[in-house]
Structure 1
Amino acid sequence: MSSQPAPLAPHPDRLLPADPALRAIARRLYSTVRDLPIVSPHGHVDPRILLDDEPFRDPAQLFVTPDHYVTRLLHASGVPLEVLGVGQGPLPEAAAREAWRALCSHWDAFRATPVRYWLESELAEIFDVAARPSAQTADVLYDHLAERLMKDAYRPRALYDRFAISVLATTDDPCDDLSAHRALVADPTWSGRVIPTFRPDRYLEAAQPGWADAVVHLGEVAGVDTGSYSGWVAAMEDRRSYFIANGAVSADHSHEDVGTAALADREADRIHRAALAGTATPAEAVSLRRHMLLEMARMSTEDGLTMTLHPGVRRGHHGPSNARFGPDTGHDIPLRGDFTDPLRPLLERFGTHPNLHLVLFTLDETVFSRELAPLAGFYPSVYVGAPWWFYDAPDAVRRWRSAVTETAGFAKTSGFIDDTRAFCSIPARHDMSRRLDAGYLAGLVAEHRIDEDEATETAVDLVSGRPLEVFKL
């Protein structure tokens, strides 16, 4: 048996159809979109990475610790989160090497997952790694990557340009002063476009610990007394205006459900005051949130922010890990989806409003064809969001595309959403989507359902046209 490490060489036709006739069509379609600029209208990259433009510290910081897609699978394979550096801040070199070794030693855990696809693309195509990660190659690869990271060509701004990113949206708290975004705009040496996204979840969840303090702080930042419900509304409107003035184009919402139901003003104010006093019941807190979400839609019809809903996740499913390591550490688990009736109050009020763009995401693929596509197939305001999180994977993307397109068409989808904190995975994620769409379109061409010129036009539109239109970019 050879002692040489296995090569790392992603196949140029990866993810394209296996059938030779289909693959030939898919290759042509993919070639038209392969090098198009990346539009990333929803993600979680820290804008200060680009503002400071400091070298990434080490391979663990870049590929392991911040990426819950990676850490959750390693944890499932028996690697403790503390070994991976989760929740610990910058790691000393010895700890960073240990986290990287854990990834390499458990490389087989990623077989057939999108994480494997992303990591292979990043390592081979960005960092010129030629050997497959393993326990035997871990230290050599660490040194190779660490050497690359010290070069100017691997600083964040240089990579942003290399990735051909035309716009990158971040996710931001309504009380954020957006100083990093403003500093980037003012920097004469920076020509990229990084825009904030309004994410008000914590200010709608009156049952969550810390809600009252958060609402008081919201009022302080907005210069409005939030002791009343009308004050809360005024403060939200003020902060949305501030975000828009600083480049925001969307407001993102993630709750356990998408229920919307109006309360009378007096009742909303009563529950709001009770929640501030800590006396609101759980049912009252839910009813207030559902009313507030309806108000968020109303605000979007007036200020034009695209409204995106990312519902259906049980955050912090493992309480001990959540207490020790904090949120977004790999143990958020999907819930059943339900859209048709919960969204009806919102859609009856605003579903045909010309200024509302409402993008619906789900982690329950049973609703792709049963609910999301039919809603988008009637309401002008509704778009179906691309597969997200657990469904940002080749087979799930194919299922989504088939289930949604036959009812709603291509035009009522969002374009690809990378939704990532892992900066270097952005081009790999978008490339995966482009390859999968090329394969799907190739099948339509081969079946004579559309002509190849239409498929080419559609492939380009999915990369450039859809996200620009849906997110009003």
Structure 2
Amino acid sequence: MPIRPLELHPDRLLPADPATRKLARELYRHVADLPIVSPHGHTDPRWFAGNETFGNATDLLLIPDHYVFRMLYSQGIAMEDLGVRNPKADPRAAWRLFADNYFLFRGTPSRMWLDWVFAEAFGISAQLSAETSDLYFDTITEKLATNDFRPRALFDRYGIEAIATTESPLDTLEYHAAIRAENARPGGWQGKVITAYRPDPVVDPEFEGFRDNLAKFSEITGEDCLTWNGYLAAHRQRRRFFADMGATSTDHGHPTPRTADLSPTDAEALFDKVSKRAFTAEDAELFRAQMLTEMAGMSLDDGLVMQIHPGAFRNHNARVFDRFGRDKGADIPSRTEYVANLKPLLDKYGNEPGLSIILFTLDESTYARELAPLAGHYPCLKLGPAWWFHDSPEGMRRFRRMTTETAGFYNTVGFNDDTRAFLSIPARHDVARRIDCGFLAELVMEHRIEDWEAAELARDLTYNLVKKAYRL
């Protein structure tokens, strides 16, 4: 095949209509270079603590990115050959396999993000293919060995004002402590990297090792986490510790958004079941439901913003899970109901303006029917952006079209990238800014808002709303 040029069109993703595109281009120009606020994601804090080089192209761009290897796996390519959980894999051979199959990503968000990284971060001007595989691998790997491509330098280059990682209550947060020490050192790096409290390993009775996790929870906190009161006290203690380490939010990845408001006696009896591993699937779901309400109450006390990320059937591929573990591209969206599921929590706390709960969904059918009406009424609720499988140009457009009329813009929280792939962060934020500016331009051209309102909204959607929503 011929080697083709890699060119990023300056008007990519903007509306096709010339007049609307012109206005969208102007709106985008004013927000394109605003700082990036990344309030929820899964980058590794040790990158910023140690500031070591990333290694090679495969280490940085292929192995951490489940968006990439899930597509390749779907075409029969073995994860081991891509280097996933296989230290013996040849990084160059894995990259060649990726390059040979790069055509599979045509039309996908991953293709947009990766092309942005190749062109903007590494200055490569030819498309990735079998013919350019070694050029890519050598160019990227050589640049990653330089100081300009260490994690802190990239953080600063792309104007990241703040980034949140995600850790469980069992994490020591040692890397966050090291980052804070560096921030405090005279002349030290000033990047803001904070944590978020993700209690799933000690909240979900069906999480692997749950009973052992409770024992470790007891060890870390000094509380008896095999008793209900001790267990709740341990959560309060660890939440305080996370807040002291910079956390402004919690995150809850439950199968459903079901909530419950059990009496203290019933809650204690339920905890006794799950802590002794004498529970049914319904008991596990009810316990997770109760814990969402408990966590909302704790958020009202300590001010941490609560994120609920429901509706993923985690680790759907049992063989992949057994061989490679969690987060290997086999999580699948499922139907999700919010109105009845959230009612127990909202009956108790929904009218509290001091509480902030951000709702996400993988079920787009709920946008207009359930989520926008809920967020458009309850003071405590906001809508998280298009997430995961919908973190795409069309997904972002659908989100705006289906929620704005009922929830407005100001019951949403801007954009978050929710990624493990560090260099996709500026690429993803650029996509979100372009899509929002295109949507706003359409509203102006339809005389639904004024041009000055669109300019204010573009900045709010890019920067102001996320800082306010996440209390940054």
Which residue does the alignment assign to 2:127? 132
Deviates more, 1:32-41 or 1:185-194: 185-194
Question: Of 45, 48, 51, which aligns to 2:49?
Answer: 51
Which residue does the alignment assign to 1:197? 196
Q: Is the 8 A contact 1:373 1:408 kept in 2?
A: yes
CA distance in 1, matches of 2:85, 2:412: 35
Which residue does the alignment assign to 1:150? 145
Q: Is the 8 A contact 1:15 1:435 kept in 2?
A: yes
Deviates more, 1:261-270 or 1:160-169: 261-270
> Is residue 30 of structure 2 the alignment partner of residue 32 of structure 1?
yes
Which residue does the alignment assign to 1:168? 163
Deviation at 1:297, TM superposition (A): 0.6
| Equivalence map 1:43-122=2 (5 Å) | 43-89=41-87, 95-122=90-117
The letter for the 1-side match of 2:135 is V
Q: Equivalent pairs: percent with the same residue?
A: 46
SS at match of 1:387: coil
CA distance in 2, matches of 1:227, 1:173: 18
SS at match of 1:280: coil
> Is residue 208 of structure 2 the alignment partner of residue 213 of structure 1?
no
SS at match of 1:344: helix
Unaligned runs of 5+ in 1: none
| Equivalence map 1:23-422=2 (5 Å) | 23-89=21-87, 95-187=90-182, 188=185, 189-422=188-421
CA distance in 2, matches of 1:414, 1:99: 38
CA distance in 2, matches of 1:343, 1:230: 24
Q: Is the 8 A contact 1:302 1:355 kept in 2?
A: no
The letter for the 2-side match of 1:76 is S
Q: Is the 8 A contact 2:254 2:310 kept in 1?
A: yes
Q: Is the 8 A contact 1:260 1:291 kept in 2?
A: yes
Deviation at 1:267, TM superposition (A): 2.0
Partner deviation per Cα, 1:34-83 (whole Å, 9 max, x = no partner): 00000000000001101111111100011111100001011112211111
CA distance in 1, matches of 2:159, 2:206: 43
Which residue does the alignment assign to 2:437? 438
SS at match of 2:162: strand
**TM-score, reference length from structure 1:** 0.97
Deviation at 1:88, TM superposition (A): 2.8
SS at match of 2:60: helix
Deviation at 1:276, TM superposition (A): 2.3
Q: Is the 8 A contact 1:207 1:275 kept in 2?
A: no
CA distance in 1, matches of 2:240, 2:170: 12
CA distance in 2, matches of 1:208, 1:24: 51
Q: Is the 8 A contact 2:200 2:207 kept in 1?
A: no
Deviation at 1:207, TM superposition (A): 3.3
The letter for the 2-side match of 1:184 is I
Deviates more, 1:221-230 or 1:22-31: 221-230
Q: Is the 8 A contact 1:87 1:326 kept in 2?
A: no
Q: Is the 8 A contact 1:261 1:294 kept in 2?
A: yes
Partner deviation per Cα, 1:367-396 (whole Å, 9 max, x = no partner): 011111000100111111101110001111
The letter for the 2-side match of 1:450 is I
CA distance in 2, matches of 1:447, 1:293: 42
Deviates more, 1:260-269 or 1:406-415: 260-269
SS at match of 2:339: coil
Deviation at 1:265, TM superposition (A): 1.5
Q: Compared with structure 1, are the counterparts of its residues 159 and 234 closer, same or farther at alpha carbon in structure 2 (3 Å cutoff)?
A: same
Deviation at 1:87, TM superposition (A): 2.0
Unaligned runs of 5+ in 2: none
CA distance in 2, matches of 1:388, 1:280: 32
Q: Compared with structure 1, are the counterparts of its residues 205 and 449 closer, same or farther at alpha carbon in structure 2 (3 Å cutoff)?
A: same
Deviates more, 1:286-295 or 1:434-443: 286-295
The letter for the 2-side match of 1:178 is L
SS at match of 1:185: helix
Deviation at 1:4, TM superposition (A): 4.7
Deviation at 1:337, TM superposition (A): 1.3
CA distance in 1, matches of 2:262, 2:333: 28
SS at match of 1:432: helix
SS at match of 2:82: coil
Deviation at 1:137, TM superposition (A): 0.9
CA distance in 1, matches of 2:64, 2:285: 31
Q: Is the 8 A contact 2:254 2:288 kept in 1?
A: no
How many matched pairs? Answer: 468
